[in-house]
């Protein structure tokens, strides 16, 4: 359901965005000029006509100037029309009109429908047309007079384009229309180019002010207002009726034909009709008779004297003041100026504080809609125009309506787009502080925003909003500028023996970038996450998850310059992490070259709220659309969610979290005794009172590890915890009872305090179907600031919790989406037919798919020497062995107890990826007194599985899950350390993984895997 709606939304959005491609379909690219040799010479005397047209197009910043071809005889003109697809024919006329009119008839016979304009050389030659029957001009679309005015050619070309495009453009793109009523050929020949010049320049200025990308600017020019010319009352009436809903203004003469006779009052009659039907329509009366000025003012129109020497400036002033091309001037009822908004950002800002009388003054006269109309926002202008102040209970409701409409406008512009340079309006959404690619993570975040905008999740998930935190990008151009400016490339390529962190922190960022960071911090006072976004990050095949560093900043120091320095240092340290030893190990394992990687930066507001001196979200976690370890009746495609209280650093670090199926959130994955022993005991938070810190110390320099008891101060803690009732020997949802706490989210998952699981399931489904592969998301949940108060409701348990949350405002923040990689090779392990004696290892909980042959090295942690307090030393020992095997290019199998790659050393062995970079299969083997659930949501785990490194989980005491430790000890030992044993085999082992079933095995050395006779690639005894 969600995916189909998403596709429909994307199609609708694409149609809206591509509407400008559908405008101005008829373009004049080829012009045939038919003139005698003498007339052609006159036209060319000051330079080539084509060059003049190109010059005018260049001045107006117009593209694709037409090419002009000349014909000097009627016969040549007709012949060329038959051979060439001309878009416009211009016939020059001197004193003789017979020949041009006959030529027009012949051309129309040869090319029916082609626009034909007649151009009189000057006023004297124009008199030759005065006494002719109108029928003789039936093949002429319009008559103009040149009089040496070079701008006229652009006006004639644009007039034809507007005449032929207006019907489509008004219907498809809601393009506005300017209706010009003027019967004087001499005047409209002069006035029309002038009007186009004003219109083009002001439209371009509007587009420039809104900071759109260049391609969009060019396309937006196609949506400029169209100018239609009428030479009598009846023509004007027809055009008015046809385009009434698109009219931007009417510019009218006073004296022109009406009913076949010249009417000295025709202009005022038309003005009366127009104002009667559209009271707020701006009208400009132009006349050479200055006595008409006062009457125009009395009828609510502006006035322009045709004889004025400043006609261009006056026309520009009218467009700026009355058509919305200029700044919006907020006035009160008496006309006093209160504020002047030159951009949409300023308009929104002033709208928040202008007095109520000013708001009502402009709204009642449709000034707001007119201003939006001029900026091409016709759809939103019409929405506002449909409402008057009387439709709202008070001015506050009116103000809120206009602001929400503008928010929708801003959101519609940014859907699916990575933003251009600058901060987003209102400090929300997305912005960009540096040019260049925003990297893989940045592209993923833009995709997330597009999903949220297009799918409109909040309307379907009652009580659960879905958002992306305020996000800024610094493109890779700033990274390259930093490296070049400080001559760091050679240092980065040979970092051996160099303190990279100090080396990078001591260098300088670009001064302009620092100024932009300062501007950002002036408006942002929430904690910030400074994250990497390499070009290779979150790629479909090799995601590079967690390879680079992330820094969390309190952003709470009272001195702005201190906050700027902290943010600046975090950015430089993220840059430095590209050249770390662990990153290099990952590049080697992934067979990528580090020289090809570039680093963008993502700056995000941290999700959460402040509790005393600590800042953290109520819930954070990861979720996967494919569950490699399904239990009970769960299917792999039902997905898996891993959640914890506090910052997500805890989750992705592989610590103890709560796991559930989004499809079956009420079903407990673990037995009660295992849930209590494996419950979350601590969490990460940002220390908001730690003003000074040294980020060179690492990613956790600003974090504090807190006991779970500290979280009981949170007013919503009752939502995430259950209590073990010792007296009744049972778990109770909430925290009303005394006893040990279990972070199991029961009040939310089992009693649906808010639709957490439902949202996760929907988001996973949409993301997976959109990307075409299984995905993993990172998220955080907290409540709107106004909903979190120290005196919040006393939430206890069960249905009472659900009902007590009715007025709460939880927000689901989608932080990242990345692919889960699956090997397409089909392998089928039939466990009942496998002889355990042939296996060094067998398990029904395996991740990965396919077979890996030729492995002759195994490193295992000796169970008899394993010490939970020495896991860091074990990790170092494994790292040393990995370095030796990497140098020899020998893959290996790694076996040990607990979680590999965890940040909690009491749960397993905290190796980094650099310490196991050459491994091909990892085994987590339970010991009788040490059993830990696998960490499916960590960055370490994600990178391991994405490279198709086998990941085996061996439970203790199961027939279908074991490590043959006796056989392992009998293998030839190459070296033995304090904790680890390295064996090397004469005959290699083969690792086999059935990704569909989650079964895996490692055959003993020399044993062959034989396919069953009735199937391909079915491995059995």
Cα(113)–Cα(163) distance, rounded to whole angstroms?
A: 13
- At 820 the pLDDT is 75
Q: Are residues 467 and 348 in the same domain?
A: no
pLDDT tens sequence across 107-138:
999 999 899 999 988 887 777 666 566 667 88
As separate numbers, helices (DSSP H) first and strands (DSSP E) second, the chain gives 33, 47
792 shares its domain with 936: no
Res. 540: pLDDT tops 90: no
Ranges 187-201, 410-424, 574-588, 784-798, most confident: 187-201
Residue 779 CA to residue 761 CA, distance in Å, equals 13
SS3 track for 907-973:
CEECCCHHHHCCEEEEEEECECCECCCCCCCCHHHHHHHHCCCEEEEECCCECCEEECHHHHHCCCE
Which of residues 801 and 37 earns the better pLDDT score?
Answer: 37
- Which has more confidence, 59 or 71? 71
314 with 400, same domain: the answer is no
Most confident of 233-237, 305-309, 573-577, 666-670: 233-237
Q: Does 59 map to a domain?
A: yes
Q: Are 601 and 576 in contact (CB under 8 A)?
A: no
Give the pLDDT mean for 706-714.
91
My answer on whether 621 and 562 are in the same domain is no
Distances (CA, A) of 410 to 100, 407, 426, 961: 53, 5, 11, 56
- Inter-residue contact 947 to 590 (CB < 8 Å): yes
Give the residue from 777, 793, 819 where a domain finishes: 819
Q: Write down the pLDDT at residue 122.
A: 81
In a domain, 596, yes or no: yes
Verify that 180 and 135 share a domain, yes or no: no
Secondary structure (3-state) at 461 = coil
Sheet holding 599-605, edge to edge: 430-434, 471-474, 599-605, 528-534, 551-553
Tell me the C-alpha distance between 573 and 596, whole Å. 19
Q: Assess whether pLDDT exceeds 90 at residue 424.
A: no
Same domain, 812 and 837: no
Confidence at 567, pLDDT banded by 50, 70, 90? very high
Instruction: Report the SS3 class of residue 877.
Output: helix
252 within 8 A of 178, measured Cβ to Cβ = no
Q: Which residue has the tokens 């949501």?
A: 937
Inter-CA distances, 523 with 422, 423, 470, 517, Å = 13, 10, 12, 10
Token pair for residue 115?
């626009």
CA angle 474, 475, 479 (to 5 degrees): 90
Contact yes or no for 296/253 (Cβ under 8 A)? no
Q: What is the pLDDT of residue 545?
A: 59
Cα distances from 16 to residues 13, 21, 172, 454, in angstroms, run 5, 10, 10, 13
Question: Cα(492)–Cα(489) distance, rounded to whole angstroms?
Answer: 5
Residue 860 lies in a domain: yes
Q: What are the pLDDT digits (tens) for 876-903?
A: 999 999 999 988 989 999 999 988 888 7
Burial class of residue 352, CB neighbours in 10 A (0-12, 13-18, 19+): exposed
Closest CA to 253 of 194, 306, 300: 306
Residue pLDDT, tens place only, 736-770? 888 888 899 999 998 888 889 989 998 898 888 88
Largest CA distance in the chain: 117
8 A C-beta contact, residue 875 and residue 910? yes
Helix axis angle for 2-17 and 756-771, nearest 10°, is 60
In this structure, of 577-581, 818-822, 923-927, 937-941, the range with the lowest mean pLDDT score is 937-941
pLDDT at 12: 56
* Residue in this structure with the two tokens 């030992």, named with its chain if needed: 973
- Band the pLDDT of 821: cuts 50, 70, 90: low
Contacts of 966 (CB under 8 A, 6+ apart): none
The total domain count for the chain is 6
Residue after which a domain boundary falls, among 274, 302, 326: 326
Q: Is the pLDDT of residue 1018 over 70?
A: no
Indicate the DSSP class of residue 423. P
| 653-659 mean pLDDT | 80
Checking 484-492 for CB contacts under 8 A at 24+ apart, the result is 485/510, 492/578, 492/579
pLDDT of residue 649: 87
Mean local confidence (pLDDT), 307-332:
82
Are residue 852 and residue 954 in the same domain, yes or no?
Answer: yes
In a shared domain, residues 621 and 566: no
Residue with tokens 């086999």: 992
pLDDT band at 443; cut points 50, 70, 90: confident
Query: Could you give the percent of the chain with pLDDT greater than 90?
Result: 31
Same structural domain, 253 and 123: no
Structural tokens at position 261 = 């006779």
Any domain includes 344: yes
Model confidence pLDDT, tens digit, residues 366-421? 888 878 777 767 667 778 878 888 888 888 888 888 888 877 777 666 665 666 65
Is 1 within a domain? no
CB 304 within 8 A of CB 195: no
Give a yes or no: residue 272 inside a domain: yes
What is the per-residue pLDDT across 778-801, written as a single tens digit (0 to 9) for each?
Answer: 999 998 643 332 233 333 334 333
Tell me the C-alpha distance between 377 and 175, whole Å. 9
| Entry pTM | 0.65
Residue 750 CA to residue 113 CA, distance in Å, equals 72
**141-160: average pLDDT:** 87
Say if residues 853 and 1014 touch (Cβ distance below 8 Å). no
Which residue segment(s) compose the domain that 275 sits in?
Answer: 174-326
Report CA-CA distances (Å) from 802 to 619, 679, 730, 738.
Answer: 17, 23, 21, 21
Q: Cβ distance 857 to 891 under 8 Å?
A: yes
Q: Please check whether residue 101 is in contact with residue 88, taking contact to mean a CB–CB distance below 8 angstroms.
A: no
Whether 962 is in a domain gets the answer: yes
Residues in the chain: 1021
Q: What are the Cα distances from residue 342, in Å, to 319, 320, 324, 327, 690?
A: 14, 11, 10, 4, 42
Residues 168, 22 contacting (CB under 8 angstroms): yes
**Confidence (pLDDT) at 34:** 92
Helix (H, G, I), strand (E, B) or coil at 627: coil
Mean local confidence (pLDDT), 944-951 = 70
- Please tell me the predicted confidence (pLDDT) of residue 207: 61
Q: 715 Cβ partners below 8 Å, 6+ apart?
A: 788, 789, 790, 791, 792
Domain assignment of residue 626, yes or no: yes
**Which comes out higher in pLDDT, residue 676 or 908?**
908
Query: Rg for the chain (alpha carbons), in Å?
Result: 37
User: Rounded CA gap, 409 and 424, in Å?
Assistant: 13
772 and 646 belong to one structural domain: yes
Q: Let me know if 211 is exposed, middle or buried by CB neighbors in 10 A (0-12, 13-18, 19+).
A: middle
Domain stop point among 590, 605, 620: 605
Residues 589 and 617 in one domain: no
394 shares its domain with 438: no
User: In this structure, are residues 922 and 892 in contact, taking their beta carbons and an 8 Å threshold?
Assistant: no
Distance CA 756, CA 451 (A): 18
Instruction: Give percent of the chain with pLDDT exceeding 70.
Output: 80
In angstroms, the CA 422 to CA 434 distance is: 9
Question: How much is the pLDDT for 292?
Answer: 92
The tally of CA atoms less than 13 A away on the side-chain side of residue 1001 is 27
Contact residues for 435 (Cβ-Cβ < 8 A; gap 6+): 421, 475, 477, 478
Q: Is the Cβ–Cβ distance between 762 and 461 less than 8 Å?
A: yes
């Amino acid at each position: 359901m969600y995916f189909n709606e998403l596709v429909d939304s994307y199609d609708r959005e694409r149609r809206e965005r591509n509407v400008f491609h559908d405008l101005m379909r008829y373009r004049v690219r080829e012009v045939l000029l038919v003139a005698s040799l003498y007339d052609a010479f006159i036209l060319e005397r000051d330079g080539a006509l084509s060059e003049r047209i190109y010059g005018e197009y260049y001045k107006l910043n117009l593209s694709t100037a037409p090419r002009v071809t000349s014909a000097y005889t009627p016969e040549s003109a007709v012949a060329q029309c038959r051979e060439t697809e001309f878009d416009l024919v211009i016939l020059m006329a001197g004193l003789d009109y017979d020949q041009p009119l006959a030529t027009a008839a012949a051309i129309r016979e040869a090319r029916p429908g082609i626009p034909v304009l007649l151009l009189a050389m000057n006023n004297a030659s124009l008199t030759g047309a005065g006494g002719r029957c109108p029928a003789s001009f039936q093949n002429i679309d319009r008559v103009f007079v040149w009089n040496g005015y070079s701008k006229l050619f652009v006006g004639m070309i644009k007039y034809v384009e507007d005449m032929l495009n207006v019907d489509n453009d008004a219907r498809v793109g809601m393009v506005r229309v300017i209706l010009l009523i003027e019967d004087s050929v001499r005047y409209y020949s002069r006035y029309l180019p002038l009007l186009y010049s004003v219109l083009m320049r002001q439209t371009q200025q509007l587009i420039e002010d809104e900071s759109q990308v260049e391609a969009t600017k060019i396309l937006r020019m196609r949506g400029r207002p169209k100018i239609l010319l009428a030479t009598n009352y009846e023509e004007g009436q027809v055009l008015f009726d046809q385009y009434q809903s698109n009219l931007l203004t009417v510019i009218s003469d006073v004296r022109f034909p009406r009913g076949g006779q010249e009417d000295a009052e025709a202009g005022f009659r038309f003005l009366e009709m127009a104002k009667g039907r559209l009271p707020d329509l701006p009208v400009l009366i132009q006349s050479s008779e200055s006595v008409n000025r006062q009457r125009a003012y009395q009828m609510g129109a502006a006035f322009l004297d045709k004889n004025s020497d400043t006609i261009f400036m006056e026309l520009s002033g009218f467009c700026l003041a009355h058509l919305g091309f200029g700044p919006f001037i907020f006035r009160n009822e008496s006309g006093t100026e209160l504020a002047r908004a030159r951009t949409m950002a300023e308009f929104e800002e002033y709208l928040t504080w202008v007095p109520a009388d000013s708001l009502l003054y402009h709204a009642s006269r449709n000034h707001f809609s007119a201003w939006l109309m001029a900026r091409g926002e016709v759809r939103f202008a019409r929405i506002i125009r449909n409402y008057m102040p009387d439709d709202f209970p008070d001015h506050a409701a009116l103000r809120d309506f206009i602001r929400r409409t503008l928010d929708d406008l801003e959101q519609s512009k940014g859907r699916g787009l990575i933003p251009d340079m600058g901060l987003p309006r209102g400090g929300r959404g997305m912005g960009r502080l540096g040019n260049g690619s925003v990297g893989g993570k940045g592209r993923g975040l833009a995709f997330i925003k597009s999903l949220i905008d297009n799918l409109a999740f909040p309307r379907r998930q009652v009580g659960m909003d879905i958002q992306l935190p305020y996000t800024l990008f610094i493109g890779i151009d700033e990274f390259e500028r930093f490296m070049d400016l400080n001559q760091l490339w050679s240092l980065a390529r040979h970092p051996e023996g160099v303190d990279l962190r100090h080396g990078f922190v001591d260098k300088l960022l670009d001064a302009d970038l620092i100024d932009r960071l300062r501007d950002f911090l002036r408006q942002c006072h929430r904690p910030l996450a400074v994250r990497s976004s390499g070009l290779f990050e979150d790629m479909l095949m090799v995601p590079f998850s967690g390879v680079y560093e992330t820094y969390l900043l309190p952003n709470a120091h009272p001195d702005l310059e201190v906050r700027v320095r902290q943010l600046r240092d975090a950015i430089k340290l993220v840059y430095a992490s590209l050249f770390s030893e662990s990153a290099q190990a990952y590049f080697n394992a992934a067979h990528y070259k580090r020289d090809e990687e570039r680093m963008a930066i993502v700056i995000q507001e941290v999700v959460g709220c402040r509790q005393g001196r600590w800042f953290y979200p109520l819930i954070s976690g990861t979720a996967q659309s494919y569950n490699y370890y399904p239990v009970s009746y769960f299917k792999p495609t039902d997905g898996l969610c891993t959640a914890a209280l506090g910052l997500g650093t805890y989750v992705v670090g592989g610590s103890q979290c709560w796991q559930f199926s989004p499809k079956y959130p009420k079903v407990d994955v673990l037995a009660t005794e295992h849930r209590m022993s494996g419950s979350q005991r601590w969490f990460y938070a940002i220390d908001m009172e730690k003003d000074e810190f040294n980020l060179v110390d690492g990613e956790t320099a600003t974090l504090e590890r807190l006991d779970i008891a500290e979280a009981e101060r949170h007013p919503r803690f009752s939502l995430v915890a259950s209590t073990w009732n010792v007296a009744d020997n049972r778990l109770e949802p909430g925290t009303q009872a005394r006893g040990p706490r279990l972070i199991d989210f029961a009040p939310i998952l089992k009693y649906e305090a808010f639709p957490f699981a439902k949202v996760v399931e929907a988001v996973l489904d949409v993301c997976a179907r959109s990307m075409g592969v299984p995905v993993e998301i990172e998220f955080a949940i907290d409540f709107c600031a106004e909903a979190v108060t120290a005196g919040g409701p006393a939430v206890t348990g069960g249905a009472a919790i659900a009902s007590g949350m009715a007025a709460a405002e939880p927000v689901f923040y989608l932080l990242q989406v990345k692919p889960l990689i699956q090997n397409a090779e089909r392998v089928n392990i039939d466990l009942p037919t496998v002889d355990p004696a042939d296996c060094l290892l067998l398990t029904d909980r395996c991740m990965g798919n396919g077979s890996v042959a030729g492995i002759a090295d195994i490193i295992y942690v000796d169970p008899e020497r394993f010490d939970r307090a020495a896991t860091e030393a074990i990790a170092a020992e494994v790292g040393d062995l990995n370095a030796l095997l990497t140098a020899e290019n020998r893959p290996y199998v790694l076996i040990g107890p607990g979680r590999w790659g965890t940040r909690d050393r009491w749960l397993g062995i905290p190796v980094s990826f650099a310490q196991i970079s050459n491994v091909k299969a990892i085994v987590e083997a339970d010991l009788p007194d040490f059993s830990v659930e696998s960490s499916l949501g960590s960055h370490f785990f994600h990178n391991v599985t994405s490279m198709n490194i086998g990941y085996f989980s061996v439970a203790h005491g199961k027939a279908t899950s074991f490590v043959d430790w006796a056989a392992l000890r009998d293998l030839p030992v190459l070296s033995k350390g304090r904790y680890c044993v390295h064996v090397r085999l004469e005959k290699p082992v083969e690792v086999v993984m059935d990704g569909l079933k989650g079964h895996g095995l490692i055959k003993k050395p020399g044993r062959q895997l034989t396919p069953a006779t009735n199937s391909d690639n079915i491995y059995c005894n």
